[in-house]
Structure 1
Amino acid sequence: MKKTPTLARKWFRPTGRILVMLSFAIPVHAELSTPTPSGSSGPGAEMGQTVTDAQRDMAFNILTTSMAILRDDQPFDPAHTIFGRILAARPERGAVGVMEYSFVNPVLPETQIIVYVVPDPAAPSADRTKVKQVVTAITVRFNPLLTDISRSTLEDLLRVDIGYWIDGQGNRWPGNDLGTAPPQVRLHGYRYRASNLPTSRFPVNVEFAFGDPAPNNPAPDEPKTPVLMDVLLNRDYSALNPHHREQNPS
């Protein structure tokens, strides 16, 4: 029996200081099992939609703003942000001061924009209710999937280093191309470390998820080149440890 080619969408849900990867495979013309702000029609429909110049420009603005927030070059004000209108603000059950914001953008109304806010991990106070909240992760899941945006364009836009990436424990790994999932799942991942800028306070880890085109005879409504599906940006606190907090008392 011939397997149906699929695209896999994956994203990270940060829980405390741990990133738990969630992934699922979606048949190309199936419905999405995860709700979107406006009720997505699924990857097949996403691919068939035309991406306008205004949508592409907004996507770039969302990503550059996200990077600036995570570098701590720009403040985050959920009530006034290019991300759009607050769709939901969900406190994390059992976690003090942890909040997940989701936004609906007027130019990309079906794109999921998730901002994860926690009490500042760098603050030594044991009373987390008195600690300033900071953004630690931003995930953008594009709908429609973005065509005609190359990986090199994103590398330049977000100013990332080429040739290595850093994991959640601070370990350095060579390369950026994570390869594809099994052949029937056409998800292609890439990981990076944002370049160290003198104006930025925090390092940022970056992940792109592209949907590769069908290897043989793609359907007429499917793109012939990779499409951008998801971008994950994560502020790296891996350098923090008990010794670091002892050396940096409040």
Structure 2
Amino acid sequence: MSDDIAPSQERALLRLLDKVMEVMRDDRPINPDDPDLGNLKSAEHFVPGEAGIAYSFRNRAFPDATVELTTWTDPLDYSDDRTRVQAVPAYFELAFHNALAGVSRRLLEQRLDLANYWVDADGLRKESNDIGHSLPPFAREHRYRYRANAGEHGRFPVDVEFFFIDPAPDDLSRKARLDQITITRDYPYLTPAMRKKKREEQNHKKRQTYGYMDLCTGATCPESGIWEGWTKDGPTDVMKVERGQKFDAVRSVSLEQGGSCPMIRGQWYWLCNVNEESGTVWKGIALKG
């Protein structure tokens, strides 16, 4: 049996959750040295070939608790080479070794600005937040699930789950105890094949959008990436161009033929982003990042 949460612990808990929601919902940068998160214990890459890091903290207010914030390779970046993709926040877990009595679930709901519904794996909205009890031997574990309100600066759907331990029949205090909190960004699940399809759709859309801008030699590049240069006879060139850079002249002879040639005024079309360069084949030539 645990004692009631102390006022100082409650303040520390709310500060911790505020900070996590800023990261998960509002997309604030992660600062592993933020004292509200605790003292950093470890930061480890946990999936080979991916950018994600699992951060583990020791919080003085809850010395026996597990405090972990996990980042994953950005699912919304469709690049094939996952080692070159930025890591983004994905999952937070606060698990108490000794569950805390006296924590108000209503206070947590208000502080985290949680809605009175949740969203299942199929994207369907489920009214109410009470999920009920877990199966034996955890029959007194009571789960509550929420979709966080987006808020003014909210950028990503965020799901929150509370795990409380209901009092035993002989517990005269009749107080539920907070056992665990999880906070998760609701990213879409994409297989490599699905990412490839999304990548092709994204590049096709950009090619059309930028094509209407008539980006010729001397025009300003609107987005860093790999661009394809055309003469009136078709594509002859491919080049990495940075945003804000002026588009160069294009080759008068196709790059696949090799050798030097006169450079002439031409038009430039989007091909792919820089992260995709090493996986792109252009007119039989494998580009290398």
Fold shared by both chains (TM-score > 0.5): yes
Instruction: Provide the C-alpha distance between the structure 2 equivalents of 1:100 and 1:80, rounded to a whole number of angstroms.
Output: 16
Question: Who is 2:120 aligned against?
Answer: 167
Instruction: Provide the C-alpha distance between the structure 1 equivalents of 2:18 and 2:200, rounded to a whole number of angstroms.
Output: 34
Match of 1:66, SS?
helix
Residue type of the alignment partner of 1:84: G
Question: Who is 1:150 aligned against?
Answer: 104
Match of 1:77, SS?
coil
Tell whether the 8 Å contact from 1:51 to 1:144 is kept in structure 2 after alignment.
Answer: no
Q: Are residue 178 (structure 1) and residue 135 (structure 2) matched?
A: no
> CA-to-partner distance for each residue in 1:196-217, whole Å, 9 max, x for gaps?
2231111101111000001x22
Could you tell me how far 1:183 is from its partner in structure 2?
6.4
Instruction: Provide the C-alpha distance between the structure 2 equivalents of 1:100 and 1:133, rounded to a whole number of angstroms.
Output: 11
Instruction: Provide the C-alpha distance between the structure 2 equivalents of 1:96 and 1:183, rounded to a whole number of angstroms.
Output: 37
Tell whether the 8 Å contact from 2:79 to 2:199 is kept in structure 1 after alignment.
Answer: no
Tell whether the 8 Å contact from 2:75 to 2:188 is kept in structure 1 after alignment.
Answer: no
Cα pair distance change 1:239/1:181, threshold 3 Å = closer
How do 1:155-234 and structure 2 match up within 5 A?
A: 155-162=109-116, 164-182=117-135, 185-214=139-168, 216-218=169-171, 223-234=173-184
Residue type of the alignment partner of 1:224: R
Tell whether the 8 Å contact from 1:170 to 1:239 is kept in structure 2 after alignment.
Answer: no
Tell whether the 8 Å contact from 2:26 to 2:153 is kept in structure 1 after alignment.
Answer: no
Q: What is the aligned counterpart of 2:93 among 120, 126, 139?
A: 139
Tell whether the 8 Å contact from 1:168 to 1:238 is kept in structure 2 after alignment.
Answer: no
Could you tell me how far 1:226 is from its partner in structure 2?
0.9
How do 1:1-250 and structure 2 match up within 5 A?
A: 47-162=1-116, 164-182=117-135, 185-214=139-168, 216-218=169-171, 223-238=173-188, 242=195, 245-249=199-203, 250=273
Q: Unaligned 5+ residue runs, structure 2?
A: 204-272, 274-289
Could you tell me how far 1:136 is from its partner in structure 2?
0.4
State the number of aligned residues.
Answer: 199
> CA-to-partner distance for each residue in 1:19-66, whole Å, 9 max, x for gaps?
xxxxxxxxxxxxxxxxxxxxxxxxxxxx33453211111011111111
Could you tell me how far 1:186 is from its partner in structure 2?
0.6
Cα pair distance change 1:244/1:170, threshold 3 Å = farther
Instruction: Provide the C-alpha distance between the structure 2 equivalents of 1:244 and 1:68, rounded to a whole number of angstroms.
Output: 29
Could you tell me how far 1:170 is from its partner in structure 2?
2.4
Residue type of the alignment partner of 1:234: T
Instruction: Provide the C-alpha distance between the structure 2 equivalents of 1:226 and 1:53, rounded to a whole number of angstroms.
Output: 17
Could you tell me how far 1:94 is from its partner in structure 2?
3.4
Tell whether the 8 Å contact from 1:86 to 1:104 is kept in structure 2 after alignment.
Answer: yes
Instruction: Provide the C-alpha distance between the structure 2 equivalents of 1:122 and 1:99, rounded to a whole number of angstroms.
Output: 17
Tell whether the 8 Å contact from 1:49 to 1:144 is kept in structure 2 after alignment.
Answer: no
Q: Unaligned 5+ residue runs, structure 1?
A: 1-46
- Please give the TM-score of this superposition, normalised by the length of structure 1: 0.71
Comparing 180-189 with 224-233, greater Cα deviation is found at 180-189
Structure number with greater Rg is 2
Residue type of the alignment partner of 2:182: L
> Quick one: higher RCO (CA 8 Å, sep 6+), 1 or 2?
1
Instruction: Provide the C-alpha distance between the structure 1 equivalents of 2:98 and 2:166, rounded to a whole number of angstroms.
Output: 15
Instruction: Provide the C-alpha distance between the structure 2 equivalents of 1:48 and 1:193, rounded to a whole number of angstroms.
Output: 29
Cα pair distance change 1:182/1:136, threshold 3 Å = closer
Tell whether the 8 Å contact from 2:49 to 2:83 is kept in structure 1 after alignment.
Answer: no
